[in-house]
Amino acid sequence: MVHGHTANAGGDFLGYDVTFLDNRVTGDETWLHHCTPGTKQDSMTWKHPFSPVTKKFKVMRSAKKIMGTVFWDSRGVLLFETLQREETINAVRYCQTLDKLREAIRRKHPRQLTNRVILQHDNATPHIARVTQGWLEKYGWEILPHPPHSPDLAPSDYHLFVPLKRELAGKRFDDDEELVDHVRKWLQNLDGSFFQEGIYSMVRRWQKYVHRLGCYVEK
């Protein structure tokens, strides 16, 4: 079953139960750069009033980058993968990722496949393509509708990728393998409560969204 209206999703959240939240799987893609500039706070160091003035060089974000995809739920990361440089995300490629995700759920939470899988992803073209819709219907996965241009309702955007970018800020990686290994270890070291907080925070955000008739949710 594939839901068709955002209002339905809002109603689900307003009348949520723990099972509904724990059956939710969310995911998204993000660019991972070999070199990410540090924040202004990173460069703030204590100096003696008479210390000589030092020049600061502007560090540009590296053009070398790879696309990373992360799927997770309230218990942790289910799938992390990256695209080869020559690959692009289309519907066929996305369904291959969903195959891997389904296998990951089968290994980690086998009962969920027989009960209910509620997938939340945005409205990117590969996600809403006919091929993808056919895959979702084949396995009986439900889709939690995502309002267009609403990163405030996408847990990966506001809860996972923000601290990930902060983790990568100021670091430089020599190759894709080193970068991917660092991100993978960072994801593995996140506490379980981090993921539960990200999923459960959707209740409050959907409440604000519904009450404000779709206005942007402030942090």
Mean pLDDT along residues 89-111? 96
Question: How many C-beta neighbours within 10 Å does residue 152 have?
Answer: 17
- pLDDT tens for 115-133 read 889 999 988 999 999 999 9
Q: Supply the pLDDT for residue 44.
A: 37
Instruction: Give yes or no for a contact between 76 and 89, defined as CB atoms under 8 angstroms apart.
Output: no
Q: Supply the pLDDT for residue 16.
A: 54
CA 162 to chain centre: 10
Q: Supply the pLDDT for residue 204.
A: 79
For residue 211, give the DSSP letter.
H
Q: Write the single-letter amino acid at 129.
A: A
- Only one residue has tokens 């509620």, namely 118
Which two structure tokens, joined as six digits, stand for 72? 């997770």
Which of the pair, 35 or 22, is modelled with greater confidence? 35
Window from 140-144, 156-160, 214-218 with minimum mean pLDDT: 214-218
Residue 178 has pLDDT above 90, yes or no: yes
pTM of the full predicted structure?
0.79
- Quick one: which of 157, 163, 187, 170 has its CA closest to 61? 170
Residue 102 has pLDDT above 80, yes or no: yes
- pLDDT tens for 33-71 read 999 887 645 433 333 334 454 544 444 555 699 999 999
- Quick one: which of 122, 125, 146, 184 has its CA closest to 8? 146
Three-class SS string for 183-197? HHHHHHCCCHHHHHH
Which two structure tokens, joined as six digits, stand for 175? 């190759």
Which two structure tokens, joined as six digits, stand for 59? 């560090």
Question: How many C-beta neighbours within 10 Å does residue 19 have?
Answer: 10
Q: Write the single-letter amino acid at 110.
A: P
Q: Supply the pLDDT for residue 165.
A: 95
Percent of the chain with pLDDT over 70: 75
Q: Supply the pLDDT for residue 43.
A: 38
Q: How far apart are CA 105 and CA 81, in angstroms?
A: 15
- pLDDT tens for 5-20 read 444 445 555 555 567 7
Domains and CATH numbers, the chain: 6-42+58-211 (3.30.420.10)
